[in-house]
Amino acid sequence: MGAPYVSIRRLVDNSLAAMLSAVEVYNKPQMTYRDEVTVMLVVNAWELALKATLRKAHRPIFYQKKRGERYRSITLDDALGRVAAQKLWPTGIDGPAISANIKALSEYRDRAIHLYNAKGLGAVIYPFLQQNVLNYRDFMVARFNRDLADSMTWQLLPLGATAPADAVHFMRVDTSATVVTEVQDFIDELRGYMDEAEAAGSDLARVATVYDIHLQSVKKLESADLLVAVSPTADGQVVLKKTDPNQTHPYSMTELLSKVNERHTGRRLNQYDYQAVCWKEDLRSNTKYAWKHSNGSAHVWSGDAVSHLAALTDAYYHQVRTEYRDYMRTREPVRPQN
């Protein structure tokens, strides 16, 4: 007997239903076990969406059947691996970054299912949840032409279909605070997922949405892209704090082009392509992509810039190169100084 038939439409419908339920649960004014239930539903939504993606591409979603046993569908981790291996992430969707985000939430879910999570981790997991909703919406529109926002007619709390995003590289716990081992272990897991995404040249804003949160914080927070600390003076509240762009924009122009060429599916891009697009889109003025110290001579670039440039088509680069060449020809020659 062959593997059972699985409806792509049912997978997609149930995936959307799970994500909408997650948002509804999170936005309830009064809800115990809120974070845990929300994350379980979010992870379930992604597992169904990824399996629908594999089915749509005529790829198997069951393990090879063993004698005397029922067919077993693949796990979330295997679904992520197969979507990546088969190059099924839609164009413009940052697969490694989204995978890191999903794995972070899956880690939280597993801990909740098998035991429980330490108090205070909700504030840590929220940036991943918010970004996950945005990632999911983009993925479902690109892969199945189904927009989550079409079914969301209200918003109570910030977990919704739109929100600003900033880059984030890693997390740590302030060693001056008293922190349970579980919190430290969990944050180490999150750092690992984010390190993997960064190593792949991913847009780290796709991993977590980060906001400035001002509470009664610890005495001193050291420099990091995202600091997570348990304050001894604020009832164990978790404090998040963003820091300077030196760490969120780590790439020189040469490193930027190298990262872009690793991910660009067309021809190999060169410095002239870089100059043309920077001129056309004024990228150096966009702090999401570029940053320059007031005393520096060159710009540095973020993971967002890598993703943006890698997603542009060869046709667009050709058009921009032509426009840039024409523009340079019309400029008045610079007269030599005496």
Residue 183 clears pLDDT 80, i.e. is over it: no
- Report which listed range, 25-29, 62-66, 189-193, is most confident: 62-66
My answer on whether 97 and 151 are in the same domain is yes
My answer on whether 253 and 242 are in the same domain is no
C-alpha dihedral (57, 58, 59, 63), degrees to nearest 10: 150
Decide if 305 is inside a domain: yes
My answer on whether 116 and 84 are in the same domain is yes
pLDDT in tens, 71-95: 889 999 999 999 999 999 998 788 8
Last residue of a domain, one of 219, 247, 275: 247
Decide if 123 is inside a domain: yes
pLDDT at 220: 35
Confidence of residue 125 (pLDDT cuts 50, 70, 90): confident
My answer on whether 70 and 43 are in the same domain is yes
My answer on whether 201 and 318 are in the same domain is no
Mean pLDDT value across residues 60-64:
89
pLDDT in tens, 95-114: 888 998 999 899 888 887 77
CB–CB of 253/299 below 8 Å?
A: yes
Decide if 116 is inside a domain: yes
pLDDT at 151: 80
Mean pLDDT value across residues 178-206:
66
CB atoms within 10 A of CB 239: 20
Residue 165 clears pLDDT 60, i.e. is over it: no
Domain count, the chain: 2
pLDDT at 203: 64
Of the chain, the percentage scoring pLDDT greater than 90 comes to: 33
My answer on whether 168 and 24 are in the same domain is yes
pLDDT at 33: 84
CB atoms within 10 A of CB 159: 21
Q: Which domain holds residue 60?
A: 8-247
My answer on whether 236 and 275 are in the same domain is no
pLDDT at 333: 58
pLDDT at 189: 73
My answer on whether 212 and 291 are in the same domain is no
Give alpha helix (H) positions in 175-313: 181-199, 245-248, 253-263, 271-281, 303-311
Higher pLDDT, 18 or 27: 18
Tokens of 327: 């523009």
My answer on whether 28 and 121 are in the same domain is yes
45 three-state secondary structure: helix
pLDDT at 209: 59
Decide if 2 is inside a domain: no
pLDDT at 55: 94
Of 3-17, 171-185, 207-221, minimum mean pLDDT range:
207-221
pLDDT at 161: 46
Q: What is the mean pLDDT of the chain?
A: 76
Calpha distance 37→157 (Å, rounded): 16
Last residue of a domain, one of 220, 247, 274: 247
Decide if 1 is inside a domain: no
> What Å distances lie between residue 241 and 73, 215, 259, CA to CA?
41, 10, 28
Decide if 301 is inside a domain: yes
Calpha distance 145→139 (Å, rounded): 9
pLDDT at 99: 92
Last residue of a domain, one of 195, 223, 247: 247
My answer on whether 33 and 88 are in the same domain is yes
My answer on whether 243 and 260 are in the same domain is no
pLDDT in tens, 230-283: 444 444 444 444 445 655 788 889 999 998 998 888 899 999 999 999 999 999
pLDDT in tens, 136-159: 999 999 999 998 888 875 444 444
pLDDT at 234: 40
Q: Please give the helix or strand (H or E) that residue 9 lies within, else none.
A: helix 8-26
My answer on whether 283 and 197 are in the same domain is no
Task: Kindly report the pTM of this predicted structure.
Answer: 0.57
Contact residues for 123 (Cβ-Cβ < 8 A; gap 6+): 213, 237, 238, 240
